[in-house]
Amino acid sequence: MHKTITGFSKLSKSEKIDWIVDTYFSNNDNAEIILKQYWNSDDKIQQLHDEFIENTITNYYLPFGIAPNFLINGQTYTIPMTIEESSVVAAASKAAKFWFDRGGFQTKVISSTKIGQVHFTYDGNTEDLTSFFNVVKPKFYEDTSSITKSMEKRGGGILDIELKNKTEDLENYYQLHATFDTVDAMGANFINSCLEQFATTLKANAEPSLSGNINIIMSILSNYVPNCLVRAEVSCKVEDLTENPNISPEAFAEKFIQAVNIAEIEPYRAVTHNKGIMNGIDAVVLATGNDFRAVEAGVHAYASRNGTYSSLTHAEVKDGIFKFWMEIPLALGTVGGLTSLHPLVKLALEMLGKPSAKELMQIVAVAGLAQNFAALRSLTTTGIQEGHMKMHLMNILNQFEATPEEKETLVSHFKTNAVTHSSVLENINKLRANN
């Protein structure tokens, strides 16, 4: 029976755990031990983690790995990745090594504009509202000058503010549609603060100037950033696509391009195709303290921008040159938020050479492109399961609580045998029966 509680947030962490254990784990003697064993032994670090969110009772660990040998615009990087899925880091590393010897990855930031909107209704004449907006527009900048001052010193700020008439879609619905440059900050708090001031200014100046009524619905940034774009690509001569002796470079290129073409027109395939890209992107976004949920939402909206969900990557052979590329929206930051608080995030950014937001956009895009290349290479040659299941083997062995000796024996066995859950179970049972 689930129970409610009043004043939970006012309890100490220990009291919160006592309530959780007594309410939900009365028959589990290990629950409290498990919760507490993930606490950091350094009280200062633990307090820092406790204060990231509300009602913290413990820490949830994810592996923090690295993928070396990424050559990006002539510079070598080791990329930090935080993810729980087997084979992702290995696949990224393998793709990095493959392209390191073929010129590496080329990237560029196409644009870095971010968007925020004030959503409101107005029941008066549209022409009157438009005339009023044109008069009051300078006041939006004036009234936010205290908010934008430091951002402008860093080279960013408000780029433009537009009035958008959306009444054909929803009765009496209008927007203030604002564009921003937040330089090295993700900028969510900055954008939202500006928008809320826009709303205040709009309301304060509208009442004496317009016959109709303005009703502010909400003021919020958008995580859809189709004009915050970065491009990443790799290319080489088709004849240099050599690695797998079982398929010619020409046949590999043909199958690879066809696989991308399928993802461009088949949404069922495109979702999984793009999920593979996000394996790489999310892992770096998370390792660098950025908002992977915002990135995911924006990326998938961008993949649907033409009315059908489609592949984010593209491939072609032209004049004997194989090219594989992607343009993707990424709103990232390297200052503010967790980037200045989380010790591992600080190390991750230092490992990357303390990049600017634009440099991080390029690194993250490369991780996604590399991951997609690795997945498509496996899919069109050996099949995805061969490599993935071998990387997943250790998880299965841990699930069966294999001893170090059992792990050593079974890892050796599965170097030349297919890994499946049932085959691992069968072989570990044989080992234990013989002992």
CA 239/CA 216 separation, integer angstroms = 61
Q: What's phi and psi for 315, nearest 5 deg?
A: -145, 150
Each residue of 367-405: b (16+ CB within 10 Å) or e? bbbbbbbbbbbbbbbeebeebbbbbbbeebbeeeebeee
| Beta carbons of 181 and 191 less than 8 angstroms apart | no
CA 169/CA 177 separation, integer angstroms = 16
**Whole-Å CA distances, 122 to 164, 171, 264:** 12, 9, 41
3-state DSSP: the chain helix, strand, coil percent, rounded to 5? 50, 20, 30
Q: Which pair of structure tokens corresponds to residue 54? A: 């509300």
Mark whether 388 is an active-site residue: yes
Q: What's phi and psi for 78, nearest 5 deg?
A: -110, 120
CA 50/CA 72 separation, integer angstroms = 37
Q: Which pair of structure tokens corresponds to residue 345? A: 């995030």
Q: Which pair of structure tokens corresponds to residue 147? A: 């908010």
Mark whether 85 is an active-site residue: yes
The single residue of 181, 233, 291, 359 carrying the catalytic annotation is 291
The single residue of 16, 273, 342, 388 carrying the catalytic annotation is 388
3-class SS at 105?
strand
Tell me which DSSP letter residue 78 carries: E
Mark whether 275 is an active-site residue: yes
Determine the Cα angle at 13 with ends 10 and 15, to 5°. 75
Determine the Cα angle at 228 with ends 372 and 166, to 5°. 115
Determine the Cα angle at 316 with ends 312 and 320, to 5°. 155
Crossing angle for the helix pair 267-287 and 292-303, to the nearest 10 degrees: 150
Determine the Cα angle at 285 with ends 284 and 288, to 5°. 80
The single residue of 108, 137, 203, 275 carrying the catalytic annotation is 275
How is 51-73 classified by DSSP, letter by letter? TTSSS--S-----EEEEEEEEET
| Beta carbons of 224 and 303 less than 8 angstroms apart | no
Q: Which residues are catalytic?
A: 85, 275, 291, 388
